Structure 1
Amino acid sequence: FHEGVTSPQVTITASNESIIMEGVHRQEMWSQQQETTPTLAMVPRLVPNPASGSVEISLGAEEWRVLTMINGKQTVGQIAQRSGLGEARTCEIIAKLMQSGLIERREAAAGESLAPEFEQIAAGYLGAGANVLLQEAYRIAGVTDPSRASAAEMLAAADAFEAEARRLIGADRAGQAAAQLRERARELLV
């Protein structure tokens, strides 16, 4: 809006009441969708043999974009980020694909989404030697397969990583690295 400048044409033709009613309607729809909407941590996967029914499925460009990114490994949050459609629209599309029977829900283990994040953060602090130290931290924490680890096991691995990293990079940098690991774990798990 600029002072003293008027719009050459009226751009909103709906009444205030209808705009408010539309907002209320959208809120109700969103509340209903949240019951069936997947979480950002969910890992969708393609249904191997979708049931062939009498209903024909028609997908738009955005639905195809999301469907091609579903590989059983990426979380809904990762798909939303890669697709550029945003979290709400991606969740809406995934819910539609689930209703049509093309994909199914598979909640990821905490470690499945955290293990690659841990590797990236550790490499940022330790470089090439990070993976060896991270594997030792997993061993100390009792994690045999990081991709199947629980949230508690991944947080224990962050503690073990901090203890091991202190010898190599000092207490301050090890503390920073471990704090970043813990923060990322909490972000992904909430």
Structure 2
Amino acid sequence: MTQTLLQIDSSARMQGSTTRALTTRIAERLGGALTRRDLSSALPQIDENWVNANFTPEADRTPAQRAALALSDQLVAEIKAADVLIIGVPVYNFGIPTALKAWIDQIARAGVTFRYTEAGPEGLLNGKRAILAVASGGTKVGSDIDFATGYMRHILGFIGITDVTLVSADEQMIDAERAAQSAEDAIARLAA
């Protein structure tokens, strides 16, 4: 059975982006049916209309509310259809790019990708795998100043995706060769 991959690129750079190169290499390594989502042209920020539509029961939504959620519904459908998410995570100023945060805001939806229970929130997108292709200039992945990877692991777990692997090319401005080799080694270890 062929696995389905969702490649999400969030780097503002179209040329010379380490994370774009890594997500492509990972997709090639894993193989399978591939859907690509490029966030560089920026998704809309959620606004009051979106929030009101999201918290209106689906059966009661107006046509305008359905339209407000149409992109979000499409993004969630892409995740639901995928077995593996390959997410490019460039570290910008110690965190994730705003384009990636906008995607998260569109897909983290109560009653759709997670729900609240008496025991606390429960993710609804179980059984999926995520691979984070992380690149940074000077931030060491996993350090006290890396606010990107911990956040991504948390938000993915929040929606039910707990099988998360990091492929990192961190601290490129300190040791570019080591960063590139570290990422290549991690890709080589990935099982299809």
Class of the TM-score when normalised by the shorter of the 2 chains: under 0.3
TM-score using structure 2 length: 0.25
Q: Which structure has the larger Rg?
A: 1
TM-score using structure 1 length: 0.25
